[in-house]
Chains A and B, each alone.
Chain A
Amino acid sequence: NAGVTQTPKFQVLKTGQSMTLQCAQDMNHNSMYWYRQDPGMGLRLIYYSASEGTTDKGEVPNGYNVSRLNKREFSLRLESAAPSQTSVYFCASSGGTGVKEQYFGPGTRLTVT
């Protein structure tokens, strides 16, 4: 049981380049999330998907797009990377009814030069 997996683990981009971060979960969870982690700021929600076929903006969506490809997979796309998007990106998922904890992937460390 792999839980939440993310690819790639590390990435370096030049300003203006695009890339897609991949996330998959094998826990049959309905909800999936993308966060970014910056020093001294905790984790901030970029986008989330409450269920397959739906996506919504979080706290810091500008510069990002997402796709909920199916129940398992939730990707995050940077169309034109900027140095301000240098961060560690985490995908998470949660499932069931009521308030449930989120399960996190290992993260992607992205540097934009």
Chain B
Amino acid sequence: AQSVTQLGSHVSVSEGALVLLRCNYSSSVPPYLFWYVQYPNQGLQLLLKYTTGATLVKGINGFEAEFKKSETSFHLTKPSAHMSDAAEYFCAVSFSGGYNKLIFGAGTRLAVHP
């Protein structure tokens, strides 16, 4: 069965600091991996996705993530945090033949302070 674990329900960084949000997955078949962002009182917006090919994936707003099969990880990073990055971030896994059903992690709330 597929599952997703996000380490740290809350992460706090200073403006300009590195952002690192951790995601580990469990999957018995090749996974497809996604990061979504949710701003307050809004729906989810896709940041980036990994399906096949290059393991370093670049997304919107300067975020990127690297698929590491040996570590079953798909951590999200951004070199320099902005105040506008404050939001909740969700990692999700899907798989071929699964009707694009997503299994979500519990989420990580990112706070950015001056």
Contact = CB atoms under 8 A, between A and B. Distances in A.
Contacts of A92: 44
A71 to B, nearest CB: 15
Contact of B44 (A40, A44, A48, A104): A104
Given A99-B51, A106-B42, A106-B43, A48 B104 contact: no
Interface in B72-114: 90, 94-96, 99-107
User: Interface extent on B, as a size class?
Assistant: 20 to 34
B11 to A, nearest CB: 15
Contacts of B51: 98-99
Contact of A102 (B9, B95, B102, B106): B102
B43 A42 contact: no
Interface in A24-64: 31, 33, 40-45, 48, 50, 56, 58
Nearest to B52: A99
Given A43-B104, A99-B32, A101-B34, A48 B99 contact: yes
A107 B40 CA distance: 11
B45 interface: yes
Interface in B7-24: 9
Given A43-B90, A90-B43, A105-B43, A99 B101 contact: no
B104 A101 contact: no
Contacts of B56: none
A107 B43 contact: yes
Nearest to B105: A42
Interface of B: 4, 9, 32, 34, 36, 41-46, 49, 51, 90, 94-96, 99-107
Given A40-B9, A43-B90, 14 more contacts: A40-B107, A42-B106, A43-B44, A44-B104, A48-B99, A58-B101, A94-B100, A99-B96, A101-B34, A102-B100, A104-B36, A105-B43, A106-B43, A107-B43
